[in-house]
Structure 1
Amino acid sequence: MDAFKEALDILFADLDLARDVTHTAMDGSTAVQVRAILRRPDEITGFGEARLWSETTRLDLRVSEVAAPRPGDGIELDGEAFTIQGEPVRDRERLVWTVELRPA
């Protein structure tokens, strides 16, 4: 497992891949600067016979920096405020959280 953690540390340190964001707990008690990898994939959702296209904003956060992100927590990214929506999901190795964001 240490090899995975070391590889993730290298990825999250990469200036072209990861960026600094501020994570703030929903109650406003703590605000910490952490490294995150931004992903903005298009998503197609079925609704009856219709297929709806939408943009999404997701972040990967290291569990070592954000132990327990929750829906309603805030993320500041490049001067824009976002809120975590839905339940965060951890990867198989339990090293990275993926959170979906909506504008605050």
Structure 2
Amino acid sequence: MDAFAMMVDAQFEDPNLALDAFWRAGGGTDRVAVRIIRKSPEGIDTIGGNQFDLNAMLVQIRLSEVAQPAKGDQVDLLDDAGQVTETVQVTGFSRIDSRKLVRTCEVSPVADSPDDDPYAS
């Protein structure tokens, strides 16, 4: 293991930066215990004199834990007691770091029922 991999592992093991989760390929029932780093970058874009708030939810996953994350995979985010607090679904990919250690995935919340859909109008 080189110094870069050790640094990445240290970040993912830090309880202030990362959290426990279960990764479920294709949203199935088989799950893999992983550590993820959750990010919520925000930007404001101006188009035609109107401003739009561009919110995104991203998770970073070590490729040593999930070699090929895919659209439709689901991630159960866990609290300190190991209980699922939220489930998100992979909707897109941002990038893989230059050392091919970490993949950044765009995710969105999974609604338990149509009434729980945060994006329904």
Q: TM-score, normalised by structure 2?
A: 0.76
- Which has the higher mean CA deviation after the structures are superposed, 93-102 or 40-49? 40-49
- Which has the higher mean CA deviation after the structures are superposed, 39-48 or 82-91? 39-48
Matched, 1:50 2:56: no
Considering only aligned residues, what root-mean-square deviation do their CA atoms show, in Å? 1.9
Higher strand fraction (1 or 2): 1
Q: Aligned-pair distance for 1:76?
A: 1.0
Distance 1:7 1:68 in 2: 21
How many residues align? The count is: 104
Q: Which whole-Å deviations, capped at 9, do the CAs of 1:77-101 have from their partners, x for residues lacking one?
A: 1411111011352111110000111
The 3 A distance-change label for structure 1 pair 74 and 46 is farther
Listed as ranges, the gaps of 5+ residues in structure 1 are none
Listed as ranges, the gaps of 5+ residues in structure 2 are 79-84, 111-121
Distance 1:96 1:54 in 2: 24
The 3 A distance-change label for structure 1 pair 47 and 73 is farther
- The residue aligned with 1:34 is 34
Identity of aligned residues (%): 35
Q: Larger radius of gyration, structure 1 or 2? A: 2
